[in-house]
């Protein structure tokens, strides 16, 4: 009776998962449900498709920028909040507000605020002569816009995890360093960063996985456009499945993304193990 719920959850997860892998070895389409096994031809067709490699580039760009920016902002803000001043106590409670909103709701809200015609952001920018900034309406600024939205929504996630790691560090090494006359930058670089690195890597692992399979933020902001400038893997999989009705190709794409996530996740977890070993 104790293990039965776990078994049921595993079965309910495996049924659609195995079914999806099976569809990737067929030519199944929504407008032609009489599928036939093609023994992996869909994988070859997809990997030969230029749209797949463009989506791979967009996904890498999005993941690199959002994780990098969120990590920098997250560590900096967490470092500032790791004290007991009145302002730090207030901000620690306020900073979780973006996480209390569903990402798609936050994205739609920001889409209205960033509208290049009537958005409130451009209204304020007009005082500085930049009131016509196109944001998500232009191919040259669309990726910047979706990165900005994701950073606004998920930076608090980085802050909370890194702040938890900072507040759990033992005080003895820092007191000893202060007694020895170590400068603040040396304490930060040689003591704080190595000790909090496992926690930082946990936050990075979660955000890398979420960013590679992102859908709601980009779909709500630009729907993969203009053109294909923000079409990442999940958006392309949606287009294949529901716009082109090619379920086999859309499922194959998501299977490839799953394989990439497993490989990348294992590499990052191995690096996390090394970081923990260095501390111990």
CATH classification of the domain holding 75: 1.10.3720.10
What does the pLDDT read at residue 12?
85
- Which residue would you say has higher pLDDT here, 252 or 171? 252
- Residues spanned by the domain of 165: 49-279
- Whole-angstrom distance, CA of residue 59 vs CA of residue 94: 31
What does the pLDDT read at residue 96?
80
Is residue 17 situated within a structural domain? no
Work out how many domains the chain is built from and give that number. Answer: 1
Is residue 214 situated within a structural domain? yes
Averaged over 90-111, what is the pLDDT? 85
Is residue 39 situated within a structural domain? no
What does the pLDDT read at residue 34?
79
What does the pLDDT read at residue 189?
82
Report the predicted TM-score, pTM, of the whole model to 2 decimal places. 0.89
Is residue 261 situated within a structural domain? yes
Is residue 38 situated within a structural domain? no
Q: Is the pLDDT of residue 280 over 80?
A: no
What does the pLDDT read at residue 220?
92
| Contact between 199 and 164 (Cβ < 8 Å) | yes
Is residue 6 situated within a structural domain? no
What does the pLDDT read at residue 56?
94
What does the pLDDT read at residue 9?
82
What does the pLDDT read at residue 231?
94
- Residue 37's CB is within 10 A of a number of other CB atoms, namely 11
Is residue 28 situated within a structural domain? no
DSSP 107: H
Q: How confident is the model at residue 275 (pLDDT cuts 50, 70, 90)?
A: confident
Q: How confident is the model at residue 94 (pLDDT cuts 50, 70, 90)?
A: confident
DSSP 49-70: -HHHHHHHHHHHHHHHHHHHHH
Is residue 182 situated within a structural domain? yes
Q: Is the pLDDT of residue 186 over 80?
A: no
Does the bond joining 46 to the residue before it have cis omega, within 30 degrees of 0?
A: no
Alpha-carbon torsion 222, 223, 224, 227, what sign? negative
- Which residue would you say has higher pLDDT here, 184 or 252? 252
What does the pLDDT read at residue 70?
94
| pLDDT tens digits, 207-239 | 999 999 999 999 999 999 888 899 999 999 999
Q: Is the pLDDT of residue 279 over 80?
A: no
| pLDDT tens digits, 122-179 | 888 888 887 788 898 889 999 999 999 999 999 999 999 999 888 888 888 777 877 7
Q: Is the pLDDT of residue 181 over 80?
A: no
| pLDDT tens digits, 29-83 | 888 777 788 888 899 999 999 999 999 999 999 999 999 999 999 999 998 888 8
What does the pLDDT read at residue 251?
92
SS3 breakdown of the chain: % helix, strand, coil, rounded to 5?
75, 0, 25
Which position has the token pair 């926690």?
A: 199
What does the pLDDT read at residue 236?
94
202: left (phi over 0), alpha (psi -120 to 50) or beta: alpha
Output the CA–CA distances (angstroms, integers) from residue 88 to 69, 72, 139, in the order listed.
21, 18, 39
DSSP 206-229: HHHHHHHT--HHHHHHTTT-STTT
Q: How confident is the model at residue 184 (pLDDT cuts 50, 70, 90)?
A: confident
């Amino acid at each position: 009776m104790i293990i039965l719920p776990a078994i049921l959850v595993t079965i309910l997860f495996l049924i659609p998962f195995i079914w999806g892998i099976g569809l990737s070895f067929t030519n199944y389409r929504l407008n032609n449900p009489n599928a036939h096994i093609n023994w992996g031809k869909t994988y070859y067709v997809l990997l030969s498709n230029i749209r797949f490699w463009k989506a791979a580039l967009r996904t890498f760009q999005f993941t690199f920028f959002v994780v990098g920016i969120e990590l920098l902002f997250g560590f900096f803000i967490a470092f500032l909040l790791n004290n007991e001043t009145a302002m730090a106590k207030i901000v620690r409670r306020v900073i979780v507000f973006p996480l209390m909103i569903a990402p798609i709701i936050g994205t739609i809200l920001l889409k209205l605020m960033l509208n290049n015609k009537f958005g409130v952001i451009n209204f304020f920018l007009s005082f500085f002569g930049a009131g016509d900034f196109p944001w998500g309406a232009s191919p040259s600024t669309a990726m910047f816009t979706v990165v900005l939205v994701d950073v606004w929504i998920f930076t608090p996630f980085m802050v909370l995890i890194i702040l938890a790691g900072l507040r759990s560090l033992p005080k003895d090494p820092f007191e000893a360093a202060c007694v020895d006359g170590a400068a603040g930058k040396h304490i930060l670089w040689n003591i704080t960063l190595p000790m909090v690195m496992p926690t930082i890597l946990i936050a990075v692992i979660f955000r890398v996985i979420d960013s590679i399979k992102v859908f709601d933020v980009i779909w709500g902001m630009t729907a993969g456009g203009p053109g294909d400038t923000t079409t990442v893997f999940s958006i392309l999989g949606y287009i294949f499945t529901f716009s082109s009705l090619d379920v086999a190709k859309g499922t194959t794409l998501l299977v490839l993304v799953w394989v990439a996530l497993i490989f990348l996740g294992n590499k990052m977890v191995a690096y996390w193990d090394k970081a923990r070993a260095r501390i111990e």
